[in-house]
């Protein structure tokens, strides 16, 4: 959990600009952040002035969010799921789900989102998509994941696309906006980023040490001033359900 909190990518400030433009987000909006995890995206909304219901089923992650966001009086931690949030009917102006949509039962979640949204409410599904080959380092990093990742290809295929979101919403009224973000890491940071992923072999696995040796070689080859960059295309899908 410590590596997850320290090294997982955040979301660029430009995402808020997208929500302001596409969803008419204002600081007065009440937002349900579904699958809020350790509170990474919830904090962005809280800094914008929003009241945020962070809905998260995992006790450890929810506890981490409660610690991280303890100084924000507008944060409300909720033990719930996308399919059963426990929120009141027509109680939120908008719903966000950052890097979480692939876990949802979409039929049940759609009904729950419609239930808790106020008339005119909006949904934003946000996904960090790591660039695979835009730099020599990222090409080698991707090759390392394909070589050592235990179920990497299966996880990568869970990436979100426009067809899935349109099917979920039930109409064509979905817009996709993409913004770029970057993480700069020294070796310790990129190792932490790698080990925060669920699809890499853990300590004790025969591939763990060879993977880290390969990672160090890649970083040493591509570093500039001691750092390498992991670049992301952050995709923001925005929509209103038909009839909302």
> Is residue 219 within 8 Å of 188, Cβ to Cβ?
no
The pair of structure tokens assigned to 227 is 């750092």
Longest dimension (CA), the chain: 55
Q: Give the model confidence (pLDDT) of 26-57 as tens digits.
A: 999 999 999 999 999 999 999 999 999 999 99
Indicate the pLDDT class of residue 102, thresholds 50, 70 and 90. confident
Domain positions in the chain: 2-239
CATH superfamily of 2-239: Vaccinia Virus protein VP39 (3.40.50.150)
82 vs 33: CA distance, rounded Å: 10
Sign of the Cα pseudo-torsion (112, 116, 121, 127, in order) = negative
Give the global pTM: 0.87
Q: Which pLDDT tens digit goes with each residue over 133-161?
A: 999 999 999 999 999 988 887 666 566 78
């Amino acid at each position: 959990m410590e590596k997850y909190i320290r090294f997982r990518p955040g979301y660029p400030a430009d995402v808020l600009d997208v929500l302001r433009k596409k969803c008419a987000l204002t600081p007065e909006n009440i937002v349900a952040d579904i699958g809020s995890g350790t509170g990474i995206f919830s904090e962005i909304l809280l800094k914008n002035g929003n009241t945020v219901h962070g809905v998260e089923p995992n006790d450890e992650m929810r506890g981490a969010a409660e610690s991280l966001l303890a100084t924000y009086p507008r944060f409300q931690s909720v033990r719930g799921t996308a399919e059963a949030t426990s929120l009141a009917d027509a109680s939120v102006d908008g719903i966000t789900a950052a890097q979480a949509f692939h876990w949802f039962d979409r039929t049940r979640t759609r009904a729950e989102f419609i239930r808790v949204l106020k008339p005119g409410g909006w949904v934003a599904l946000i996904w960090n998509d790591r660039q695979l080959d835009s730099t020599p380092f990222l090409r080698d990093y991707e090759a390392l994941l394909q070589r050592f990742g235990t179920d990497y290809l299966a996880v990568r295929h869970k990436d979100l696309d426009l067809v899935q979101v349109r099917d979920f919403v039930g109409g064509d009224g979905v817009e996709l906006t993409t913004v770029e973000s970057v993480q700069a890491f020294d070796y310790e940071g990129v190792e932490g980023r790698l080990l925060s992923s669920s699809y890499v072999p853990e300590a004790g696995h025969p591939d763990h040490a060879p993977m880290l040796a390969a990672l160090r070689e890649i970083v040493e080859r591509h570093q500039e001033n001691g750092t390498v960059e992991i670049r992301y295309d952050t995709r923001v899908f925005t929509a209103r359900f038909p009839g909302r």
